[in-house]
C-alpha cells in the first residue's frame, strides 16, 4: 500500500481535494507580483464567505492553526489583562498557556472532557474580562461548544473562538454570533494540507489591537499593511505563495459545493459513522446533542479487543492492512478513546463504509 492510498481519518490532516493538489504545481510568483495580489485578495474574500463575515481584516496567517491561536491572543493582550478561557479538552488548555505567556491573568472555566461548556459559566466567570475565549469544535473530545449565547451577552469583552476543526464542516457565523476574533487551520474541513491559519478580526477587535504585541512576526499592525494595504502594500514577511494557491483552490471547492451542502455532507457522513459504531456495540464518548459530525470520539472497548492487540495495535492494523489512519486519545484519555475524522474531502459515505468494514474484520480477528 502506498502513501497515496492513505485514507486520512485521523484528527490531523484530511485528504486534500484534487484541485488543491493541482494548485501546488502552479508557477511560484513573487509575493508583491501584480498577479499574485488579486489572488491573495480573493482568498481573503473567500475566507469571509466561509466565516460568514464582512470583516475586512480576514486573511491566512503564515503558519499552522497554532500560529492563528497565538496571533489571536498576542495582538489583544497587555500584561495583567483578564482573559476567561473555557477548557473541556486539550485545545482549551493550550489557549490558557498562550494567554498566560502573553501576560494575561487567566480565569479558567473547566467542564469535564466529553461535555460542552455552559455559556452561562463563561459569562459569569468574571465581571469585566478583556477577552472570553473558547474552542468551537474541541478536536480532543469531539464536542461542539455553542457560541451564539456568548456573543449576545459578552458586554465589552472581545469574543475569541477557535474554529480549527469547525470551519467548512459545521456552521460558523462570525457576524451573526458577534465574534471579534476567530482563527482556523487549513488541514481539517477545508481540505487543504496544514500550513496556514485563516484569521478574522471584527471592527471592534481591530480598534483594540495593542500597539506593541509581544510578537514581531504575528504583529497584526504590520501584517495588515500587507494583506489589506491596497496600493500601499508593504513587505512584512514573504507570503507562502504555494500554500495560498492551495487555500484559494480549497475554498473554491467549498464555495462551489456551497456551505450548506458541505455541512450536509459532513453531517450525513458523521451520523452514518456514529450510527454504524453504535450498531457494532461501541459507546460514543461525546455528549449527545454536542457531537461533532466531523470528529467522532468512541470509547475503546478494552474488554472486546482481539486478543494480542491493544488499542494502538488496532489502529496500526487499520493503517497497515487497510491504509486507514484514525487517531488515539489525548491527555487522560490516551489509550481510552479513538478519534475518527470525517473532514473536508474525507467526509464521504465511501470512507465510512470502508472504516466500519475494516474495523468489523479486525475486531473479529482470531488470536
Ligand atoms: N486548535 C484546535 C481545535 C486544533 O484541533 C488544533 C490542531 O489540531 C490546533 C488548534 C492547532 O493547530 P495546528 O496543529 O495546525 O497548529
**In the predicted model, what is the mean pLDDT of residues 69-84?**
98
CB of 311 within 6 A of ligand 1: the answer is no
Residues β-bridged to residue 57:
201
Looking at ligand 1, which atom is closest to the CA of residue 69?
Answer: 10
The per-residue pLDDT for range 212-257, each reduced to its tens digit, is 999 999 999 999 999 988 888 889 999 999 999 999 999 999 999 9
- Supply the pLDDT for residue 366: 58
How far is the C-alpha of 260 from the C-alpha of 262, rounded, in Å? 5
Quick one: average pLDDT of 257-269? 98
Q: How far, in Å, are 225, 261, 352 from residue 273 at the CA level?
A: 45, 18, 6
Rg (CA), the chain: 21
Which one, of 142, 78, 74, lies nearest residue 295 by Cα?
142
Does position 367 have pLDDT exceeding 80, yes or no?
A: no
In whole angstroms, what is the distance from residue 228 CA to residue 317 CA? Answer: 48
Q: Is the CB of 213 under 6 A from ligand 1?
A: no
> Where do the structural domains in the chain lie, given as residue ranges?
3-13+259-363, 18-257
Is pLDDT at 112 greater than 90 in this prediction? Answer: yes
206-232 as b/e: b if 16+ CB within 10 A:
bebbbeebbeebbbbeebbebbbeeee
**3-state SS class at 73:** helix
Percent of the chain with pLDDT over 90: 95
Please work out whether the CB of residue 64 comes within 6 Å of at least one atom of ligand 1. Answer: yes
Q: pLDDT by residue (tens digit) across 334-356? A: 999 999 999 999 999 999 999 99
pLDDT in tens, 268-311: 999 999 999 999 999 999 999 999 999 999 999 999 999 899 99
CA of 54 to the centre of ligand 1 (A): 24
User: What's the average model confidence in pLDDT over 41-47?
Assistant: 98
165 lines ligand 1 (CB under 6 A): yes
User: Rounded to the nearest 5 degrees, what angle is found at the Cα of 192, between the Cα atoms of 186 and 194?
Assistant: 55
Q: Is the CB of residue 110 less than 8 Å from the CB of residue 136?
A: no
Instruction: Tell whether the model's pLDDT for residue 171 goes beyond 90.
Output: yes
* Pocket of ligand 1 contains residue 164 by CB under 6 Å: yes
**What is the whole-number distance in angstroms between the Cα of residue 25 and the centre of ligand 1?**
26
Region of residue 129 (phi > 0: left; psi between -120 and 50: alpha; otherwise: beta):
beta
User: Of 32, 68, 31, 65, nearest to 201 (Cα)?
Assistant: 68
- Residue 141 is predicted with a pLDDT of 98
* pLDDT higher than 90, residue 74: yes
Nearest alpha carbon to residue 14 among 245, 213, 191: 191
| pLDDT tens-place string over residues 117-136 | 999 999 999 999 999 999 99
CA of 42 to the centre of ligand 1 (A): 25
Which residue's CA is the nearest one to ligand 1's atom 9? Answer: 65
Distance set, CA 344 to CA 174, 198, 333, 361 (Å) = 20, 16, 26, 26
Compute, in angstroms, the gap from residue 164 CA to the centroid of ligand 1.
6
Using alpha carbons, select from 350, 351, 345, 347 the residue that is nearest to residue 16.
345
Percentage with pLDDT > 70 across the chain? 99
CATH architecture for segment(s) 18-257: 3-Layer(aba) Sandwich (3.40)
Residue 10 in contact with ligand 1 by CB distance below 6 A: no
CB distance 113 to 331 below 8 Å: yes
- Mean of the per-residue pLDDT values of the chain: 96
- Cα–Cα distance list, 271 to 257, 294, 342, 353 (Å): 20, 9, 10, 12
**Residue located via cell numbers 484541485:** 19
Range 3-13+259-363 classified under CATH 3.40.640.10:
no
Phi-psi region of 7 (alpha: psi -120 to 50; beta: other; left: phi over 0): beta
Amino acid at each position: 500500500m502506498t502513501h497515496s492510498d492513505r485514507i486520512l481519518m485521523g484528527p490531523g490532516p484530511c485528504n486534500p481535494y484534487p484541485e488543491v493538489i493541482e494548485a501546488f504545481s502552479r508557477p511560484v510568483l513573487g509575493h508583491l507580483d501584480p498577479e499574485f495580489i488579486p489572488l491573495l485578495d480573493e482568498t481573503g474574500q473567500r475566507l469571509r464567505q466561509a466565516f460568514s463575515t464582512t470583516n475586512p481584516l480576514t486573511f491566512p496567517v503564515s503558519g499552522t492553526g497554532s500560529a492563528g491561536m497565538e496571533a489571536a491572543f498576542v495582538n489583544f493582550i497587555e500584561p495583567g489583562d483578564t482573559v476567561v478561557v473555557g477548557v473541556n479538552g486539550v485545545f482549551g488548555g493550550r489557549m490558557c498557556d498562550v494567554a498566560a505567556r502573553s501576560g494575561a491573568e487567566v480565569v479558567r472555566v473547566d467542564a469535564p472532557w466529553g461535555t460542552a461548556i455552559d455559556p452561562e459559566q463563561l459569562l459569569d466567570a468574571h465581571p469585566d474580562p478583556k477577552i472570553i475565549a473558547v474552542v468551537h469544535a474541541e478536536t480532543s473530545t469531539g464536542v461542539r461548544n455553542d457560541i451564539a449565547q456568548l456573543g449576545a451577552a459578552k458586554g465589552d469583552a472581545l469574543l475569541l473562538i477557535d474554529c480549527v476543526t469547525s470551519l467548512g464542516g459545521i456552521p460558523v457565523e462570525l457576524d451573526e454570533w458577534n465574534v471579534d476574533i476567530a482563527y482556523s487551520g487549513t488541514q481539517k474541513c477545508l481540505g487543504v494540507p496544514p500550513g496556514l491559519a485563516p484569521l478574522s478580526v471584527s471592527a471592534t477587535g481591530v480598534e483594540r489591537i495593542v500597539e506593541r504585541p509581544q510578537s514581531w512576526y504575528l504583529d497584526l499592525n504590520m501584517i495588515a499593511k500587507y494583506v489589506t494595504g491596497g496600493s500601499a502594500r508593504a513587505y512584512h514577511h514573504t507570503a507562502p505563495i504555494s500554500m495560498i494557491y492551495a487555500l484559494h483552490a480549497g475554498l473554491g471547492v467549498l464555495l462551489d459545493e456551497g456551505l450548506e451542502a458541505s455541512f450536509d455532507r459532513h453531517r450525513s457522513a458523521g451520523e452514518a459513522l456514529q450510527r454504524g459504531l453504535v450498531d457494532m456495540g461501541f459507546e460514543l464518548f461525546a455528549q449527545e446533542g454536542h457531537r461533532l459530525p466531523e470528529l467522532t470520539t468512541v470509547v475503546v472497548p478494552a474488554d472486546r479487543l482481539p486478543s494480542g492487540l491493544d488499542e494502538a495495535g488496532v489502529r496500526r492494523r487499520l493503517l497497515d492492512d487497510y491504509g486507514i489512519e484514525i487517531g488515539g486519545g489525548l491527555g487522560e484519555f490516551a489509550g481510552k478513546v479513538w478519534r475518527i475524522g470525517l473532514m473536508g474531502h474525507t467526509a464521504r459515505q465511501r470512507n465510512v463504509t470502508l472504516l466500519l468494514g475494516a474495523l468489523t474484520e479486525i475486531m473479529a480477528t482470531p488470536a
